[in-house]
C-alpha cells in the first residue's frame, strides 16, 4: 500500500512527515528509492532545523543525489498535488502510433502482390515506417534525470527561467516536478526532474544545444546533471 503525504509546504504537513521519519531512514523500505526522490522533489524548500527528522532525511537524500544517485523502485508514495515518478509517465504511446498500429492490422487484408496505385503504395510505406518507429520506442529504455539549472544572478526572473526550460519540447522528453533551492547571497537555482527515452534524447545534447543557447540562455547560466537513474 502506497504511503500518502499532504501539504508538504505547510507546517502541519512537515510535522506529520517528521513524525513519520522518526523511526525510519527512508520513505519506504530499507534503502533510498524513487519514493524518496518524489517526496524530496515535492518539498518547496529545504526543511528548517525545527523538523529534525525531515532535515536529517533531506540532507541524506541530497548527498545521495550528488554522489551516486538513487535507483531502487520503492513501494509507492502519494503526495497531494504531486505526481510520483513512474515509468507510466512516458510509457503511453502517442495517439498517432496507436492509429498506425491499427492501420497495420488493416493491411493484413491487402494483396501485396496485386496491382496498387502509387498513392496506396506510399500510404502503406508510411504506415509501415510509423509502426516500426512505434515498436522501437517500446523497446527503448527510459531514465529519470534530476537537473540543477543555475541563473545568472539574483535578479534573474526564476519564473521565466522555469518557463524557458519547460518550453523545450521534443519526442521522448517529459518534464516533471521542479522546485527552487537557495544557493546563497539571495540566489536560487531551479532543480527539475525529467524522464527521457534513452534512444531518443541525449541529456548532454539537450543541455548543450537547447538549455544553454538562445533564447533560454537569457536566463540560464549553466545546467548540471545531479542524478541519472534507469527506470
pLDDT along the chain (231 residues), means of 10: 82 92 89 88 89 92 79 78 47 41 46 57 70 54 89 93 94 90 90 90 91 92 88 71
Instruction: Provide the pLDDT for residue 116.
Output: 57
Residue 72 domain-assigned (yes or no): yes
CATH code for the domain in which residue 208 is found: 3.30.70.60
d(CA 52, CA 221): 34
Q: Is the pTM of this model over 0.75?
A: no
In a domain, 49, yes or no: yes
Clarify whether residues 223 and 163 are in a common domain: yes
* Residue ending a domain, choose from 139, 160, 177: 139
Domain that holds residue 97: 90-139
Residues 108 and 72 placed together within one structural domain of the fold: no
Q: Is residue 84 part of a domain?
A: no
Exposure on the CB side of residue 224, measured as CA atoms within 13 A: 9
Cis amide leading into 215 (omega within 30) = yes
Question: Are residues 154 and 126 part of one domain?
Answer: no
Amino acid at each position: 500500500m502506497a504511503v500518502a503525504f499532504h501539504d508538504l509546504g505547510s507546517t502541519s504537513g512537515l510535522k506529520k512527515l517528521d513524525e513519520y521519519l522518526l523511526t525510519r531512514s527512508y520513505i519506504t523500505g530499507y534503502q533510498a528509492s524513487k519514493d524518496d526522490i518524489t517526496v524530496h522533489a515535492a518539498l518547496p524548500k529545504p526543511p528548517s532545523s525545527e523538523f529534525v527528522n525531515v532535515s536529517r532525511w533531506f540532507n541524506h537524500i541530497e548527498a545521495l543525489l550528488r554522489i551516486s544517485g538513487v535507483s531502487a523502485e520503492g513501494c509507492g508514495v502519494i503526495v497531494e498535488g504531486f505526481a510520483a515518478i513512474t515509468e507510466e509517465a512516458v510509457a503511453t504511446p502517442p495517439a498517432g502510433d496507436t492509429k498506425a498500429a491499427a492501420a497495420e492490422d488493416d493491411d493484413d487484408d491487402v494483396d501485396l502482390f496485386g496491382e496498387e496505385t502509387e498513392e496506396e503504395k506510399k500510404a502503406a510505406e508510411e504506415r509501415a515506417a510509423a509502426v516500426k518507429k512505434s515498436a522501437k520506442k517500446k523497446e527503448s529504455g527510459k531514465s529519470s534525470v534530476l537537473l540543477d539549472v543555475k541563473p545568472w544572478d539574483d535578479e534573474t526572473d526564476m519564473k521565466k527561467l522555469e518557463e524557458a526550460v519547460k518550453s523545450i519540447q521534443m519526442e521522448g522528453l517529459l518534464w516533471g516536478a521542479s522546485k527552487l533551492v537557495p544557493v546563497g547571497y539571495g540566489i536560487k537555482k531551479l532543480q527539475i526532474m525529467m524522464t527521457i527515452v534513452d534512444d531518443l534524447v541525449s541529456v548532454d545534447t539537450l543541455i548543450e544545444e537547447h538549455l544553454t543557447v538562445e533564447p533560454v540562455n537569457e536566463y540560464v547560466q549553466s545546467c548540471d546533471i545531479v542524478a541519472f537513474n534507469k527506470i
